[in-house]
Amino acid sequence: MNLYEKGVRSGVSAFIIAIGIFGCLPNDALGDDLETSIDALLSRFDRSDAPGLAVGVVKEGGILYAKGWGLADLEHAIPLTPDSVFDIASVSKQFAGLAIAMLEDEGKLMITDPIRDHVSGLPEVFAPVQLLHLLHHTSGIRDWPGALVLGGRRFDDVITFQDILALARRQEALSFVPGEMYSYSNTGYNLLARTVETVTGTDFSDWMQARVFLPLEMTSTHFYKDHNAVVENRVRSYTGSFDGPFQNVGDQLTALGSSSLYSSVNDLLKWIIHFDQPTITAASVIDKIMTPGRLNSGQSAKYGYGLGVGHFRGALRISHSGGWAGFRTYLLYYPRFKIGVVVLSNWGGANVSELADQVAAEVVQGQWPSPSNDPVDEAVVGAGERLDVQTNWLGDYFINNNPSSKVKLFRRNGRLWVQLPNDHGYSLKTGAYDVFYSADRSIKILGSQGPNGWPRSLWVKTPDWTGTAKEGPVQAFEDGEGETYEGVYESSELLTNYHVQFEEGELVVRHHRHDPVRLSRFGKDRFTSGTWYWSRVDFDRDFQGEVTALRVSQSRNRNMLFRKVR
Q: Which pLDDT tens digit goes with each residue over 79-101? A: 999 999 999 999 999 999 999 99
What are the residue ranges of helices labelled H in 43-200? 93-105, 131-135, 144-150, 161-169, 186-200
* Whether 322 contacts 243, CB under 8 Å: no
For residues 92 and 41, membership in a common domain is answered with no
Instruction: Please name which of 275, 424, 268 lies closest in space to residue 336, comparing C-alpha atoms.
Output: 275
Q: Beginning with the edge strand found earlier in the chain, give each strand of the sheet holding 339-345 in spatial order.
A: 62-69, 53-59, 339-345, 327-334, 315-324, 308-312
What pLDDT score does 524 carry? Answer: 85
Domain assignment present for residue 268? The answer is no
Determine phi and psi for 199, rounding to 5 degrees.
-75, -40
CATH number of the domain enclosing 515: 2.40.128.50
* Whether 315 contacts 368, CB under 8 Å: yes
**Distance (Å, rounded) from C-alpha 303 to C-alpha 181?**
12
| DSSP secondary structure code for residue 451 in this structure | T
Domain assignment present for residue 297? The answer is yes
Domain assignment present for residue 498? The answer is yes
> Which stretches does DSSP call E strand in 242-372?
247-249, 253-254, 261-263, 308-312, 315-324, 327-334, 339-345
* Whether 354 contacts 124, CB under 8 Å: no
Buried b (16+ CB within 10 A) or exposed e, 237-248: bbebeeeeebee
Last residue of a domain, one of 31, 53, 82: 82
- The continuous run of DSSP H or E covering 540 comes out as strand 536-541
Can you name the residues that pair with 503 across neighbouring β-strands? Answer: 506
Domain assignment present for residue 267? The answer is no
What pLDDT score does 391 carry? Answer: 58
For residues 337 and 224, membership in a common domain is answered with yes
Determine phi and psi for 371, rounding to 5 degrees.
-55, -30
For residues 73 and 92, membership in a common domain is answered with no
Instruction: Please name which of 186, 204, 187 lies closest in space to residue 195, comparing C-alpha atoms.
Output: 204
Residues in CB range of 9: below 8 A, 6 or more apart = 1
Q: Which residues of the chain have pLDDT under 50?
A: 1-29, 372-389
CATH number of the domain enclosing 99: 3.40.710.10
For residues 251 and 393, membership in a common domain is answered with no
Residue range of the domain that includes 494: 482-564
For residues 220 and 366, membership in a common domain is answered with yes
* Whether 71 contacts 51, CB under 8 Å: yes
Domain assignment present for residue 107? The answer is yes
For residues 397 and 365, membership in a common domain is answered with no
Burial class, 107, CB count within 10 angstroms (exposed 0-12 / middle 13-18 / buried 19+)? exposed
For residues 429 and 487, membership in a common domain is answered with no
For residues 353 and 399, membership in a common domain is answered with no
Residues in CB range of 58: below 8 A, 6 or more apart = 64, 269, 272, 273, 338, 339, 340
C-alpha 154: how far from chain center = 18
SS3 of 478-506: CCCCHHHHCEEEEECCCCEEEEEEEECCE
For residues 212 and 332, membership in a common domain is answered with yes
**Distance (Å, rounded) from C-alpha 414 to C-alpha 312?**
41
Instruction: Please name which of 462, 517, 518, 506 lies closest in space to residue 481, comparing C-alpha atoms.
Output: 506
Domain assignment present for residue 382? The answer is no
For residues 548 and 463, membership in a common domain is answered with no
* Whether 52 contacts 346, CB under 8 Å: yes
How large is the greatest C-alpha to C-alpha distance in the chain, in angstroms? 79
For residues 200 and 334, membership in a common domain is answered with yes
CATH number of the domain enclosing 399: 2.40.128
Q: State how far the alpha carbon of 442 is from the alpha carbons of 144, 334, 359, 416, 437, in Å.
A: 44, 42, 46, 16, 8
What pLDDT score does 401 carry? Answer: 75
Task: Say how many domains are in the chain.
Answer: 4
**Distance (Å, rounded) from C-alpha 49 to C-alpha 75?**
10
Domain assignment present for residue 57? The answer is yes
Residues in CB range of 116: below 8 A, 6 or more apart = 122, 126, 127, 129
Domain assignment present for residue 59? The answer is yes
Last residue of a domain, one of 67, 82, 97: 82
- Sign, CA dihedral 425-426-429-435, equals negative
Last residue of a domain, one of 424, 449, 470: 470
Tens-place pLDDT, residues 31-67: 678 899 999 999 999 999 999 999 999 999 999 999 9
Residue 565: HSE in the Cβ half-sphere, 13 Å Cα cutoff: 11
Tens-place pLDDT, residues 220-251: 999 999 999 999 999 999 999 999 899 999 99
What pLDDT score does 90 carry? Answer: 97
For residues 465 and 490, membership in a common domain is answered with no
What pLDDT score does 432 carry? Answer: 61
